[in-house]
Every structure is written in C-alpha cells, then in structure tokens.
Structure 1
C-alpha cells in the first residue's frame, strides 16, 4: 500500500514500541507499533490519539507517549507551547508541596488531629526528583512522569492506560491482557537509562 499523498509525520513512536488499539478502548488491542515509526496524529480523545502510518494504516494509541517531531527551530522570543512549558507544572508541584507542608506543620504542632490531616491532604498528588539540571516531575492532571531540562517537558512514562474515551465493555481479565506497560520509560535518552546511570 502506498503512502497517502498528504502524509506528514507529526510524531514518532517511542523507543521500545507502543501498544495500539482498534478503537479508543483497551479491550480491542491490535498489532503494536515498532519503535521510532513515524506517524501522523489525526485525532485526539482525552489521552487517546488516533495515528496514521505512512502505509495508510491507522490505530489508536496512548497519545501521552508519542514523541513530537521537531517542526524547525522556534522563532526567537516566541512563547513555548502550553504542553512543553515546564513553568505551570513546576508551579503546581510547588503549590501541592506547600499545602502538604502546611498541613504537616499543623499536625506536628498539635493544631490538627490525624483525621483532619488526612482530610486536608486528600487528593494532593505530586512527585519531583531533582538532580542538578535534570528534573523529573509527576503531572497528576495527565497521569504521567515528565522530564524537564529547564526549558521544556518530555513524557517519560504514563501511570495508567489512556483515558477520555469509552470504557472497555469486556471483562477485566481481557482488559488486563492488553499489551500495555504503564511503567515503560520512553525518554529522555531513548534507551531507558536515566541521565548519570553507569
């Protein structure tokens, strides 16, 4: 099958490949995609992304894990895209940590009991690892870990299957059999290694 005339890759499949589904439903797995395969994003539904391959085959994937193809150098002084700019996520992590710290200080000072502490901290979700210039942040809104090099964010791993479309109508056993690895690292170096590993 020849490539569609208007096929223009917008993303590539992460190293290690990517699970794919016939529809935005984890109960309908299809053939997984090969690592670094160029694809074109043609539709989004929550975390789900419908991609088109050069041979005109399409499938649904976890859009959070697709690696964006660079579209040329940014215009000097132009703002970063909302999803690549690390500052909003850094601010959310700082806010969550501040709220937790305040509750912990009140608990330690005896101004809160254990139950009130649990109520005040319920729903707080944050994660952050800092190693020199490298920072890993948990993006609770999109249920993914991202790597930040100081200027932009790159998805490392998703913590659950894609959401935002219909739920699977198949039994839990079949859904669990779908080829989805929620802990697979897909960057930043592409080989699964963390910067600084030996």
Structure 2
C-alpha cells in the first residue's frame, strides 16, 4: 500500500529557496527561529503583511518572509476560461520609465544652473530606478514592494528583496530592533538574492 502526502493532510504549496530560509517564531523580527533547509516543502497556511506562516513537511509551523517562497504548480486551470497571467511586467516598466524621466529632469535642471548640487541631492532622495534588459531577459526594480523582479517574457517573478518582511498593521518596531525592521526599504540591509 502506498501512502501519499495528501492522506496526512500536508499538501505543499511552496518550497524554501535553494539557499534555505530564515524563520521566526512569530511575525516579529525580534523572535528568530531555526532556518529552514534548502528546497524544504512547505504549505502556506496564513499571511500577515509580508510575513507568511508555513507548515513544514515535518509538521513544524513557523513564520517566514513570504516574498521569498518559491511557488509549486497548483491544480491546472479548468477549461471554462482562458488561463490568467500574473504579475504583468508592463506596470513595472511604466514605473521605471516615469522614475527615469523624473531623474532626467532633475539632471537637466542641475546642468542648466536651475538647482545646485545640494538641491539636486534633496530632490533625488528616495528615487530608486533599476532596469536591465539582456536580449529577451528583463530585470526591473519594483519600488512599491522594494524588490527586483525577473521577467521571462510572460510574467514577473521575485528575484531579490531589500528588507525584512514588514509587520501587518504598520506598527513601529521597538527600540533595539534588528537593522531594517522599521527603516525605509533597503536602508540598512543589502539585497538578498533568491534566484530567478
């Protein structure tokens, strides 16, 4: 007799990234737990902002940065309608174009003498642009979610994120919180690669 995972009530929806995944006992950066093994099968059971509560294949439940989870294929779509694409890359490209136009305008104002270097720095503060096109491949920075995305021609996939997951409800982290817990995106923590 062959037993399947579904018979035990565990059906993985995701796996941990190839380099493993930090975890926390609760959706709080002050409560770290044991890291998850690379490519560990996980079942998503809850969300709170950027945090995801997962059930591991060994029965352990923990909280992780939900943006870093790698989705597993789900049940194929039914034939009642066309399959839907997710994460259309065009809005991210429009955002990059708009940010580049704002930066170009600031540079032109500086070059024409309409602003000094300090004014230029002040006006450009917080402006982040990222776009790499290499043939059919595209990497674009999404400033709304503070992440780099990879486009395979059909949809965007999270490639890297710049900060720890934010708590739901927008509460301010207590004094002494780890870097990035309440800072602006990318202020203290370097970007972490999660694979295309």
Q: Does 1:60 align with 2:68?
A: no
- SS of match in other structure, 2:28: coil
Superposed, which structure 2 residues align to 1:157-196 within 5 Å? 157-165=160-168, 169=174, 171-172=176-177, 175=178, 183-188=191-196
CA distance in 1, matches of 2:25, 2:6: 20
Superposed, which structure 2 residues align to 1:70-89 within 5 Å? 70-71=73-74, 77-81=82-86, 84-89=87-92
Question: Does the 8 Å CA contact 2:162/2:192 hold for their aligned counterparts?
Answer: no
Q: 1:182 to 1:112 in 2, by over 3 A?
A: closer
Gaps of 5+ in 1: 189-198
Which of 61, 68, 72 in structure 2 is aligned with 1:69? 72
Instruction: Report how far residue 95 of structure 1 moved.
Output: 0.9
Quote the residue 1:23 is aligned against. Answer: 26
RMSD (Å), alpha carbons: 2.7
Which of 74, 97, 101 in structure 2 is aligned with 1:98? 101
CA distance in 2, matches of 1:77, 1:108: 51
Once the two structures are superposed, what CA deviation does each residue of 1:27-61 show, in whole Å capped at 9, x if it has no partner?
21111111111211122122111111233311110
Structure holding more strand per residue: 2
Gaps of 5+ in 2: 180-188
Question: Does the 8 Å CA contact 2:40/2:57 hold for their aligned counterparts?
Answer: no
Question: Does the 8 Å CA contact 1:13/1:36 hold for their aligned counterparts?
Answer: yes
User: How many residues get paired?
Assistant: 179
Quote the residue 2:141 is aligned against. Answer: 138
Once the two structures are superposed, what CA deviation does each residue of 1:70-106 show, in whole Å capped at 9, x if it has no partner?
225567754422xx22121111111111111122112
Q: Does 1:42 align with 2:50?
A: no
